[in-house]
């Protein structure tokens, strides 16, 4: 199956560079959401014996993708620079030059009666290469042409599916919906038929982007049902265990969006019991307990992650759970110290210590950190604002970026940390005066960026849950 890339970082925009566009129908998505552009390079032959097969399979893939992309916000183009790619750096450069979001290339080889097709792609939003499954055919098989056709359809569907996550990170829900509606099975054993759970998961993710708890629940329930159906005839595997945990976390998020923390707890408790090493289910189960006002179970769940000192979100929620208790100060100090010791160059760790440590604000400590890490990336400007090195106007000016996606990433961080500062009474100019209303406004503004892939999104959501139930997780 497809090896999918991990985290979204950068994105390119619509296609304007010289190239030969494929003919497709007009998209139904709103013009405000840019089209997603896929560039297909010619398949390269690695031996003379492969020459008859490469152009035929290349045309099959082009046709399948063009037919699927009709009436969607995807455009298929054929960049003029067709030289074989040799490195990820070259793929990045070529994709940028062609103004495509995804660049797809591959090889065709032939050994005796065996033909092998291998495809790879570069996604500019993810800024990473990935590989498709190797496709092998026998020239002696009378049904080889049918298999070539089916694999072309599978590749086209996989390319379309891979565009969904970047679109979500770019806050393009209308585009995502149109693409998902087009991603239906066209033939038995095609990519969609094989991966119904992934399609349903994407519907659940769209619900999360839209903050539609019911849609999120429906999508992840469907994905879990697909896993359960597979397990009815197969032994559980590490892969299906991972899927069950991942989809259960998604389902629990849907419950939290609907204000049903008890349902989230009931969903995740058996997962954490069977798979105690799964970090996300443990984190969200602790959050669900805290959303119910249960500050007893949450620290127990978070303790292993806090002891490792590598998860800022776990430490933040741990501090929130213990802060209201008189006996929690020492544990809070220990947890925050461990976080900064294990992550001495992490700006987020330094900021969380500054904003949530009990007692007086440690401004000099934060000043020392910013001085020692002057070349650090975001959220360093936020830390410099708290030390007085930047004023508020300069802080917001620092969020500007020619890439609107990166600007949203900057803005969510500013709003989240200002919200924490308001809770702690450490907003510049308002020191010593905690302001729950200002905190809520900043946390809501963080959520309004729709940057749900950034770690501060979940923390802002967590703090809003605490504020809405009347318990401020200020950590002081």
Structurally, the chain folds into a number of domains equal to 2
287 found inside a domain: no
Range of the domain at 32: 19-194
295 found inside a domain: no
pLDDT of residue 323: 82
Which residues neighbour 424 within 8 Å (Cβ) at sequence distance 6 or greater?
A: 355, 356, 361, 434, 474, 475, 476
Strand partners, 104: 40, 121
Cα torsion 10, 15, 20, 26 to 10°: value is 120
233 found inside a domain: no
* Residues 278-314: tens digit of each pLDDT: 999 999 999 999 999 999 999 999 999 999 999 999 9
321 found inside a domain: no
330 found inside a domain: no
pLDDT score of 239 more than 70: yes
* Residues 309-328: tens digit of each pLDDT: 999 999 999 999 998 776 68
* Residues 414-447: tens digit of each pLDDT: 999 999 999 999 999 999 999 999 999 999 999 9
51 found inside a domain: yes
Provide the pLDDT confidence category of residue 13 given band limits of 50, 70 and 90.
very low
Q: List the alpha helices (DSSP H) in 400-435.
A: 404-424
Provide the pLDDT confidence category of residue 459 given band limits of 50, 70 and 90.
very high
pLDDT score of 25 more than 80: no
Which of 137, 171, 194 is the endpoint of a domain?
194
pLDDT of residue 298: 97
Which of 133, 161, 194 is the endpoint of a domain?
194
pLDDT score of 9 more than 90: no
Provide the pLDDT confidence category of residue 472 given band limits of 50, 70 and 90.
low
* Nearest residue to 259 via CA among 295, 222, 297, 216: 216
Average pLDDT over all residues of the chain = 91
pLDDT of residue 295: 93
107 found inside a domain: yes
Q: What share of the chain is helix, strand, coil (3-state, %, to 5)?
A: 55, 10, 35
pLDDT score of 8 more than 70: no
Which of 141, 169, 194 is the endpoint of a domain?
194
Say which CATH number the domain at 27 has. Answer: 3.40.50.10070
Average pLDDT over residues 47-55: 95
286 found inside a domain: no
Provide the pLDDT confidence category of residue 454 given band limits of 50, 70 and 90.
very high
pLDDT of residue 326: 64
CB atoms within 10 A of CB 381: 22
33, 208, 253, 418 from 288: Cα distances, Å: 34, 16, 9, 24
Average pLDDT over residues 341-365: 93
Provide the pLDDT confidence category of residue 471 given band limits of 50, 70 and 90.
low
* Residues 381-405: tens digit of each pLDDT: 999 999 999 999 999 999 999 989 9
């Amino acid at each position: 199956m497809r090896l999918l890339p991990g985290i979204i970082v950068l994105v390119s925009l619509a296609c304007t560079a010289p190239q030969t566009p494929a003919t497709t129908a007009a998209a139904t998505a709103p013009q405000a959401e840019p089209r997603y552009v896929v560039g297909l390079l010619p398949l390269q032959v690695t031996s003379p014996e492969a020459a008859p097969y490469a152009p035929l399979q290349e045309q099959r893939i082009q046709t399948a993708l063009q037919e699927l992309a009709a009436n969607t916000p995807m455009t298929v183009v054929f960049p003029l620079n067709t030289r074989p790619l040799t490195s990820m750096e070259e793929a990045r450069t070529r994709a940028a030059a062609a103004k495509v979001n995804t660049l797809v290339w591959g090889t065709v080889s032939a050994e005796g009666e065996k033909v092998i097709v291998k495809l790879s792609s570069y996604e500019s939003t993810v800024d990473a290469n990935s590989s498709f499954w190797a496709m092998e055919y026998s020239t002696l098989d009378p049904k080889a042409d049918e298999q070539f056709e089916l694999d072309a359809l599978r590749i086209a569907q996989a390319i379309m599916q891979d565009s969904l996550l970047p679109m979500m990170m770019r806050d393009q829900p209308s585009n995502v919906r149109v693409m998902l509606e087009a991603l239906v099975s066209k033939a038995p054993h095609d990519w969609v038929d094989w991966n119904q759970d992934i399609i349903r998961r994407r519907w659940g993710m769209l619900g999360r982007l839209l903050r539609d708890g019911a849609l999120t629940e429906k999508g992840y329930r469907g994905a879990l049902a697909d896993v359960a159906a597979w397990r009815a005839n197969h032994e559980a595997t590490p892969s299906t265990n991972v899927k069950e945990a991942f989809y259960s976390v998604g389902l629990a998020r849907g419950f939290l969006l609907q204000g049903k923390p008890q349902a989230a707890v009931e969903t995740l408790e058996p997962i954490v019991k069977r798979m105690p090493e799964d970090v996300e289910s443990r984190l969200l189960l602790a959050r669900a307990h805290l959303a119910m006002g249960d500050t007893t179970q949450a620290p127990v769940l978070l303790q292993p992650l806090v002891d490792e000192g590598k998860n800022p979100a776990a430490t933040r929620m741990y501090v929130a759970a213990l802060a209201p208790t008189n006996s929690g100060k020492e544990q809070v100090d220990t947890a925050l110290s461990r976080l900064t010791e294990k992550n001495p160059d992490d700006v987020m760790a330094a900021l969380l210590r500054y904003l949530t440590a009990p007692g007086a604000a440690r401004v000099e400590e934060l000043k020392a950190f910013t001085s020692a890490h002057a070349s650090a990336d975001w959220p360093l400007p936020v830390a410099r604002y708290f030390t007085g090195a930047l004023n508020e106007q300069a802080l917001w000016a620092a969020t500007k970026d020619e890439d609107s996606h990166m600007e949203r990433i900057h803005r969510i961080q500013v709003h989240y940390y200002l919200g924490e500062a308001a809770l702690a009474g450490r907003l510049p100019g308002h020191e010593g005066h905690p302001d729950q209303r200002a905190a809520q406004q900043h946390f809501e503004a963080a959520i309004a960026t729709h940057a749900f892939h950034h770690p501060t999104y979940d923390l802002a959501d967590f703090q809003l849950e605490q504020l809405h139930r009347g318990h401020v997780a200020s950590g002081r």
